[in-house]
Amino acid sequence: MKKKVVMLSVVMAIMLVLCTMPLACTGVGNKVAVISLSGPIQYGSSGLLFGGIVISPKLVRSQLERAKKDISVKAVVIQVESPGGNVAACQEILNELEQVEKPIVVSFGDMAASGGYFISAKADKIVALPGTLTGSIGVIAEIPNLKGLFDKLGIEMEVFTGGEHKDMYAGVRELTPEEKVIMQDMTDQLYDQFVQVVVEGRGLSESTVRKLATGQLYTGEQAKALGLVDELGGLSKAIDVASSLAGIEKPQVEYYKKETPSLLSTLLEMGVQRLHTVIQVQSLGAEGILLLETLDNPYPQPEYR
């Protein structure tokens, strides 16, 4: 019986010592997680050639889940280096960021333009360098007309459709006036969605945002004066701002490493047949590559870029 009493006393003493440590007793830490996002924004490697490193919804989701599950993380700093990218991917990433209940501060590097700005607009604070290139608020959608190239290569296309406008994206003819209106209406709608994100995220009036949303780039200094960013500075400044929002005096900074897919996993994702096409296309020259890339992506890819 005495042994049990002694053991219980020891355990209680250990618990008392541990409870002098805030993290052990309260589950509350002082970490600021730093997540680095660099590259074009899209769902994954696309096209016939290797796509390289991209910012994908899957990547962002995995990094944010890690920060959300770690109870010692009190705030998140996201480094954004991107010229923009696919509209849908940008929108999904923004949705993921909105699910995070901890303070989020975005730190702009050399460029955070168009889609790069889109995914950042609703952060609690945005920090940019004076020379950062940002803004470029707008959308672009392209449909190539390859008829001249087909003629040059001696290719004749027989197109069979069910639906009046089904072949408007095929690139084998010029768009009709009605189809140009269809494309412009779609582009205008995506533009309006971008404007509303900036209005909500930055607390600016819609009329103000539309005046800024010309597609042009701004320096970080100009963006601050226009209300598109909050502070000027680098990563250290962003960490300080995040710490202040979270009520942390001496933050412990944790840099999340981004996993780079191996060549093998990339090849497996592409598939053997796709790889065979990549090898074959190398001998076709610029015209052949352009042709196959277009045929590989038969629909326009609206982009915030």
pLDDT in tens, 24-44: 344 458 999 999 999 999 987
Asked if the model's pLDDT at residue 119 lies above 90, the reply is yes
Q: Which two tokens mark 96?
A: 């993921």
- Supply the pLDDT for residue 161: 80
Establish if 57 belongs to a structural domain. yes
Instruction: Give the pLDDT mean for 144-157.
Output: 75
Q: Per-residue pLDDT for 62 more than 90?
A: yes
Residue 64 is encoded by which pair of tokens? 């944010």
In a domain, 5, yes or no: no
Supply the pLDDT for residue 170. Answer: 76
Residue 130 lies in a domain: yes
Q: What CATH number did the domain enclosing 288 receive?
A: 3.90.226.10
- Let me know if residue 7 belongs to a domain: no
In a domain, 1, yes or no: no
Q: Which of 49-53, 78-82, 137-141 has the lowest mean pLDDT?
A: 49-53
- Residues annotated as catalytic are 114, 166
If phi over 0 gives left and psi between -120 and 50 gives alpha, with beta otherwise, what is residue 124? Answer: alpha
Mean pLDDT of 45-68: 79
Q: Are 137 and 209 in contact (CB under 8 A)?
A: yes
pLDDT for residue 158 is more than 60: yes
Is the per-residue pLDDT at 45 higher than 70? Answer: no
**9: in domain:** no
Contacts of 241 (CB under 8 A, 6+ apart): 105, 125, 127, 230, 231
Residues contacting 59, CB < 8 A, separation 6+: 37, 258
* 32, 36, 252, 253 from 139: Cα distances, Å: 33, 24, 39, 36
β-pair partners for 37: 80
Q: How far apart are CA 163 and CA 195, in angstroms?
A: 33
Whether 14 is covered by a domain: the verdict is: no
Beta strand segments in the chain, E: 31-38, 73-82, 85-86, 104-113, 125-128, 133-135, 217-219, 231-232, 252-256, 303-304
Which residue would you say has higher pLDDT here, 56 or 267? Answer: 56
List, for residues 224-263, the tens digit of each pLDDT value: 999 999 999 999 999 999 999 999 999 999 999 866 555 5
Specify if 194 maps to a domain: yes
Report residue 264's pLDDT band, with 50, 70 and 90 as the boundaries: low
Rg (CA), the chain: 25
Quote the domain boundaries for residue 155. Answer: 28-304
State the total domains in the chain. 1
Helices (H), 108-176: 115-118, 147-153
